Amino acid sequence: MNQGLEAFFERYGEAYSALDANATSSMFALPFMTIHQGQGTVWETMDLLLPATASLLGWFEQQGFLNATYKIKDILQIDTHFATVNLIWSVTRLESDPWQYGTCYHLKRDADDWKIYGVVQFDAVPEIEEGIDAALRHKHTSPGL
- pLDDT tens digits, residue range 60-104? 898 899 999 999 999 999 999 999 999 999 989 998 888 888 899
Residue 141 has pLDDT above 50, yes or no: no
Q: Model confidence at 144, in pLDDT bands (50, 70, 90)?
A: very low
Give kind and range of the element (H or E) at residue 140: helix 126-140
Q: What is the dihedral of CA 18, 23, 28, 31, to 10 degrees?
A: 120
Mean residue pLDDT across the chain: 85
What mean pLDDT do residues 125-133 have? 55
